[in-house]
Amino acid sequence: MIRRNASFAVVATAAALFLLAGCAASQDILGYPQQQQPYTNTIHGTVDYVDTASHSIVLYDTSGYGTMLSGSGYPANGGTVRVYYDNRTGVSWQGRSYRPEDLERGDQVDMTVRQSGNQLIAESANVTYNASTANNQYPNNRYPSTTQSSLIRGTIRYIDTNARTISIDSNNGLMTVSYDPGVRVDVNGQLYPLTNLERGDVVEVQAQSNGNGNFFANRITLIRDVRR
């Protein structure tokens, strides 16, 4: 009986020491719990579009995020990635500060991100290439824009892959919108090639107009699939 009690005391003492070691490892020298620093990484990519509704930026031709988001359905480096931002996310260009909403299609960025679940959260972004101006300078401390944004909603009548245009029956009549090979179609938050669209699909197109009646698609969202 005495030996059993002694053995039990040894085990209990070891367990207590283990618990104390665990507590010490999770506390700083003052006894306060240590704050776990989130893992961050820098990814490089080209802006496809900024979705102000969901506070996210879609990048393509990405690189640098390595094993982040592995197993979450995102492609390997070189694919398209959606990065979320908030009011603390800063964008810098040649030492000046801008907002994520100021980014435009074609801008290239180095973006510091952290992972939260299956999402990437942008902490900051540095513009490495400005697609809007030839001399890569922002006059008057404003992100330049020589075009006007329009929202076109309607039913696809025809897609000309040679001319890279989409003909849409809208409330304003038949409208033709140009696009480039990099544009993607947003289907319930997932991005797909434009070749997935077909006649009869209802879409919403965020387009830029040069004022001469020509429209260029920045973003395409599928509203209703003709096959469903």
Q: What are the residue boundaries of the structural domains of the chain, listed by start? A: 1-35, 40-141, 148-224
Tens of pLDDT, residue by residue over 147-178, are 566 788 999 999 998 998 999 999 889 999 99
Tens of pLDDT, residue by residue over 4-51, are 454 555 555 555 555 555 544 444 433 444 445 556 788 888 898 888
* Count of other CB atoms within 10 angstroms of residue 198: 11
Topology of domain 148-224, CATH: OB fold (Dihydrolipoamide Acetyltransferase, E2P) (2.40.50)
112 pLDDT exceeds 60? yes
**Residue 71 class from Cβ within 10 Å (0-12 exposed, 13-18 middle, 19+ buried)?**
exposed
How far is Cα of residue 160 from the mean position of the Cα atoms in its chain? 29
Same fold, 40-141 and 148-224: yes
- For residues 227, 153, 160, 174, the Cα torsion angle rounded to the nearest 10 degrees is 120
Dihedral sign from CA coordinates of 126, 82, 54, 150: positive
40-141 belongs to CATH 2.40.50.320: yes
The answer to whether 183 touches 215, Cβ cutoff 8 Å, is no
Q: Which band of pLDDT confidence, cut at 50, 70 and 90, is reported for residue 145?
A: very low
pTM of the complete model: 0.47
